[in-house]
Amino acid sequence: MSSLFRASEDLDEPGDEPRRQAALAHLREVLIMRGASEDEIDRALADGVIDLFVADRMLIPSKRRYTRVEVAELTGMAHDTLERFWRALGFPAAGDDERVFTDLDLEAVRLFQGLQALGAADTDVGLQMARVIGSSMARIAEAELVPRDMAAEVDPVLSAEAFVAIADETIPAMAKLLEFVWRRQVAAAIQRSMALRSHGLAPGESPVLAVGFADMVGFTPLSQHLSEDELAAVVSRFEDISHDIVTGSGGRVVKMIGDEVMFVVDSVADAARIGLGLADAYADDDLLSDVRVGLSAGPVLLRDGDYFGPTVNFAHRITSIGNPGTVIMSDDFHRALMEQAPDEFSARPLRPRQLKDLGRVQLWWCGRPGAEADGSGEAADRRRNVRWERLADVLRELEELRDVGERLLTGSRGDESVGAQPDGGDPEGS
């Protein structure tokens, strides 16, 4: 996937004014055909957002012609139900007199009503799905509209013209890709449900899964010293490695929260492979710091694509206990792992811990046979020394830059004080 717009340097002769005027005339025609007024077009030009305005009208070409009252009357859906669905999708409530709805919105309401008539959906389930779909689609939309789309160096008119030239191909293609991913993900979820039922999971019973969290060490202080581009590179690298390792070992990434990834997998052995794989990958990466990994196993509650319950809470709580680069597991996880793959992994008990709301718990270090426990050993020492040296270099550079800034600021203030002396005299002490 790529951003909606191409930067101006990707366009031929961005400074060609005749071409720009021709593009603007074409954009006016396109927008007027899609229901935009001359005033709206002029306002978008004045605000420098004509490219975003064009994308908005190309994505939803129907004219905003209906109020929510009119939509309710035309579809027969109750006003309060219509408003609940609109909010569940993540959109702000519209006033009774605001004309924000289109023929596409009417079609969506009628499609849902058709599903209800077939018995395939009811209001409560529909609202729940609307929340999941709305939040998921919002993330996709934000990812599509990357920050460079709002950058000053993008010529809005030429960028909009470039988008119009390919929109009739790219918009339907994106819709088909989303449908393809939806079909594949639903099929994968069905296969997991088949496996659970075939292993005797009763209706309404919570599935037993391995849950893991990986947290990047030192992310908060690091982020305070990085530029936006550098921070974006770190986060992107963290997500790339996490997704590759988790999915490559049969796991599922549940969510990414800045410097943390949560994953689930059916097998504790696969979860241990993922945990150690994450620890190794981040240890070998020059851009990122080490991670701490926490693993637990037990029944979980699945709702709206997320997982809840004591098993999840436990895995999250123990993530911060180990040293950087280590994998810590619960007692239940350790027991199951030693039954599944006793020759592939080694474990060593940690000192029992008293955790708030959980009581006294026994935790275990997880590693491979022959590895030294708790992030110790020559390799770990070398890795930490290299990273401390790299951090020290960064801090020295920051200190040097701070000194330069202070000197420049002092010099600037000195110049101001010189100019402020009465009768053209010299400053005191010169």
Residues 27 and 172 in one domain: yes
Domain CATH code at residue 283: 3.30.70.1230
Q: Does 108 fall in a domain?
A: yes
User: Considering the chain, what is the average pLDDT of its residues?
Assistant: 82
Q: Does 305 fall in a domain?
A: yes
Q: What is the pLDDT of residue 395?
A: 53
Give pTM, 2 decimals.
0.69
Q: Does 242 fall in a domain?
A: yes
Q: Does 259 fall in a domain?
A: yes
Which range of 25-29, 64-68, 126-130, 303-307 scores highest in mean pLDDT? It is 25-29
Would you say residue 113 has pLDDT above 70?
Answer: yes
Span 317-374, pLDDT tens digits: 999 888 889 999 999 999 999 999 999 999 999 999 888 878 889 999 999 988 776 5
Closest to 216 in 3D by CA, of 174, 260, 175: 260
Q: For the chain, what is the radius of gyration of the CA atoms?
A: 29
Span 152-188, pLDDT tens digits: 566 889 889 999 999 989 999 999 999 999 999 999 8
Closest to 64 in 3D by CA, of 97, 113, 111, 28: 97
Q: Does 413 fall in a domain?
A: no
Among 153-162, 236-245, 404-413, the minimum mean pLDDT is found in 404-413
3-state secondary structure of 206: coil
Q: What is the pLDDT of residue 43?
A: 94
Q: Hey, how many other C-beta atoms are within 10 angstroms of the C-beta on 116?
A: 15
Q: Does 421 fall in a domain?
A: no
Span 135-150, pLDDT tens digits: 889 888 888 876 554 5
Residues 213 and 84 in one domain: no
Exposure string over 50-85, b if 16+ CB within 10 A, otherwise e: bbbbbbebbeebbeeebbbeebbeebebeeeebeeb
Q: Does 409 fall in a domain?
A: no
Residues 168 and 212 in one domain: no
Closest to 376 in 3D by CA, of 406, 350, 345: 350
**Strands 346-349 and 353-355: what pairing?**
unpaired
Final residue before a domain boundary, out of 358, 381, 404: 381
Residues 22 and 130 in one domain: yes
Residues 182 and 214 in one domain: no
Number of domains in the chain: 2
Among 220-229, 283-292, 306-315, the minimum mean pLDDT is found in 220-229
Name the pLDDT band for 400 (thresholds 50, 70, 90). Answer: low
Asked if 334 contacts 210 with a C-beta cutoff of 8 angstroms, the reply is: no
Final residue before a domain boundary, out of 127, 159, 190: 190
Q: What is the pLDDT of residue 278?
A: 93
Residues 215 and 110 in one domain: no
Residues 241 and 363 in one domain: yes
Average pLDDT over residues 194-205: 76
Final residue before a domain boundary, out of 190, 215, 239: 190
DSSP letters along 315-363, please? HHHHTTTSPTT-EEEEHHHHHHHHHH-TTT-EEEEPPPEEETTTEEE-E
Q: Where are the alpha helices (DSSP H) in 199-267?
A: 219-223, 228-248
Residues 214 and 282 in one domain: yes
CA–CA distance, 242 with 142 (Å, rounded to integer): 20
Q: 29 lies in which domain range?
A: 8-190
Residues 133 and 216 in one domain: no
